[in-house]
Amino acid sequence: MTKILHRTIKAELPRVVSAQGVFIEDANGRSYLDGSGGAAVSCLGHGNGEVLDAMRAQMDRVAYAHTSFFTTDVAEDLAERLVGLAPDGLDFVYLVSGGSEAVEAALKMARQYFVEIGQPQRRHIIARRQSYHGNTIGALATGGNVWRRAQFQPILPETYHVSPCYTYRDQRPDEDAAAYGQRLADELDAKIRALGADQVIAFVAEPVVGATMGAVPAVPGYFRRIREVCDRHGVLLILDEVMCGMGRTGSIFACAAEGVQPDLVTIAKGLGGGYQPIGAVLLSDAVYRAFEEGSGLFQHGHTYVGHPVAAAAASKVVEILSRPGVMEHVALMGDKLQESLESALAHSSFVGDIRGRGLFRGIEMVADRASKEPFEPKLRLHARIKREAMERGLLCYPMGGTIDGVRGDHVLLAPPYVISPEEVDQLVERLADAIDAATR
């Protein structure tokens, strides 16, 4: 009998005993190809010796020191590396222990920024529907996932949501990318005006939407238009790269492909590569200066901020990700994954859309291809695909049911970047079998 409160109380989970590269093995000797990197975490694969050595060396030196007393070489080194790789204008780093903590910190930073610059009336956060930004109170309230929020609603701060950029379902046939992006930017503009242009703190969005939509990138130009709207009203732009960042989409920062300068960017997951829990907020010079010239104190903090072993692991992960050829391999394997999925799933009338960027791909399932009608939530197609995939030795990340009133099932793929072309073929073959079995 387990003494652990597992997320799904009655689920019988296999016990994992070892992992190497893109494979994980359970206690029954079954091997699984890690097609989702957990939840888009294991970017370098399992058992990376260089990261383990960096962690061991740091543990031998000093495993923990509270940041109210000390900084460390490894944390300074990590910040330096991240700023060096980030889009221009993101010059400072705040370290935390995961994605939700990063989002919470970014929200509080944004709010305190306006207090520091003498606009304390600003109090509203706007995000997008069908989004997920974490499970802590502030991050949960920010996410547009009504189902996750439902029972906690009475204790959540009020937030506002606009439409996500969702080409497959929402771009009108008579609308090109520019017109669609403009329509969404106009919607945000109208929402800000309705709330009071000088009352809004920030707009929060994922550059490529992961968990809730299945690797959905925005149309070209969307984020530039969103940036213009934010600038018009002095609203901060927070990009949540917790899932899509750290090279997942083929560039270290996903927003680099959008040509915008966000004010704050959150990262986590791939930053620690699964070796340590870690997250970070990158902040603009302007936000940093407001704190520096204002109260001189960011009124926030956690016990494990800047944890030395986590920083050592992340610093090594980031160093490896920035080596020549790594992002090129992500782009190459990502293109191969897309092409292989398209050909292996072409026969299935239940596959509506295959999309994504780099090694971040999503498959949207539909009961009918022509009408795009989704499966009934009670069929729990996503859960069936997950089970069928595991039986075939594949880990993928299906989501579904009803998210923010929107029905649908999709499968997210986010394998480690060390995946080989042969392993991509293996992943696709197992997934196509699992989808066929689940929809039979």
| Binding range to ligand PMP, per CB under 6 A, among 77-85, 167-175, 179-187, 235-243 | 235-243
Near ligand PMP by CB under 6 A: residue from 22, 95, 103, 432: 103
Contacts of 407 (CB under 8 A, 6+ apart): 374, 375, 376, 377, 401
**Helix extents (H) in 203-362:** 222-233, 285-293, 308-321, 326-345
**Interaction between residue 210 and ligand PMP (CB under 6 A):** yes
Cβ of residue 430: shortest distance to ligand PMP, in angstroms? 23
Q: What is the rounded distance in angstroms from the CA atom of residue 314 to the CA atom of residue 29?
A: 30
**Per-residue x/- track, 311-340, ligand PMP (CB under 6 A):** ------------------------------
Hey, which residues between 114 and 133 contact ligand PMP (CB under 6 A)? 132-133
Q: Tell me which of 34, 104, 189, 240 binds ligand PMP, using CB under 6 A.
A: 240
Phi and psi dihedrals of 125, rounded to 5?
Answer: -115, 130
Q: Which CB, 44 or 208, lies closer to ligand PMP?
A: 208
- Residue 37 lies near ligand PMP (rule: CB under 6 A): no
Q: Does 242 bind ligand PMP (CB under 6 A)?
A: yes
The minimum distance between CB 40 and ligand PMP, in angstroms, equals 7
Nearer Cβ to ligand PMP (205/385): 205
Terminal Cα-to-Cα distance of the chain (whole angstroms): 35
How far are the Cα atoms of 40, 361, 412 from residue 435, in angstroms, in the given order?
A: 20, 15, 13
* Angle (deg, nearest 10), helices 326-345 and 421-439: 30
Give least dist CB 327 to ligand PMP, A.
20
Reduced DSSP (H G I as helix, E B as strand, rest coil) percent helix, strand, coil of the chain, to 5: 40, 20, 40
**CB of 21 or CB of 415, closer to ligand PMP:** 415
For the record, the structure tokens of 192 come out as 């800000």
Nearer to ligand PMP, 58 or 212 (CB): 212
Binding flags for ligand PMP, 188-207, as an x/- string (CB under 6 A):
------------------x-
Per-residue burial over 19-57, b = 16 or more CB atoms within 10 Å of its CB, e = otherwise: bebbbbbeeeeeebbbbbbbbbbbbbbbebeebeebbee
Contacting residue, 162, 218, 229, 243, with ligand PMP by CB under 6 A? 243
CB of 266 to ligand PMP, least distance (A): 7
Nearest to 219 by CA among 235, 207, 204: 207
Residues engaged in binding ligand PMP (CB under 6 A): 39, 98-100, 103, 132-134, 206, 210-211, 240, 242-243, 268
